[in-house]
Structure 1
Amino acid sequence: MSKALNGKFTSKDQAKNVWDDLVGSGIPQENIYIDHDEQVIRVMLPAEERREIEEIFDRHEVTY
């Protein structure tokens, strides 16, 4: 079952870096949603992959 993990970013550069890191780690692009108005990045993922996404968010100082 897929779950969403949301992270709040503070700049477009931060969002781009997170996007690049997520895609580079093998997360399909269609599972990553960026809302620039709300400054939120949402990743749809299986529950067992949550820790990997949290580590990427932590690396880029994205709060979740």
Structure 2
Amino acid sequence: MSKAINGKFENMDQARNTRDDLIGSEIPQDRIYIDEEAQVIRVMLPQEEAREVYEIFDRHGVTHE
């Protein structure tokens, strides 16, 4: 079952770089959503795959809980 993994970004360059890294890690592009207004990047993946997403968020300075 998929879960929303959310991260807060500060600017669109940071969001785009994070998205590109996620795609480079073979996460399907249709599972990645960027909400420019709320400054949130959301990745829909099974909980077992969340660790890799959090590592990529950390690498790009995207905050998460």
- Are 1:23 and 2:23 an aligned pair? yes
Q: Displacement, 1:20?
A: 0.2
Determine the C-alpha separation between the residues in 2 that align with 1:55 and 1:27. Answer: 13
**Displaced runs of 4+ in structure 1, greater than 4 A?**
none
Cα RMSD (Å): 0.4
3-state SS, counterpart of residue 38 of structure 1: coil
What pairs with 1:44-63 in structure 2 (closer than 5 Å)?
Answer: 44-63=44-63
Determine the C-alpha separation between the residues in 2 that align with 1:47 and 1:13. Answer: 27
Deviations 1:10-51 (A, max 9, x none): 011000000000000000011000000110000000111000
What pairs with 1:30-41 in structure 2 (closer than 5 Å)?
Answer: 30-41=30-41
Give the TM-score taking structure 2 as reference length.
0.96
Residue correspondences, number: 64
Give the TM-score taking structure 1 as reference length.
0.98
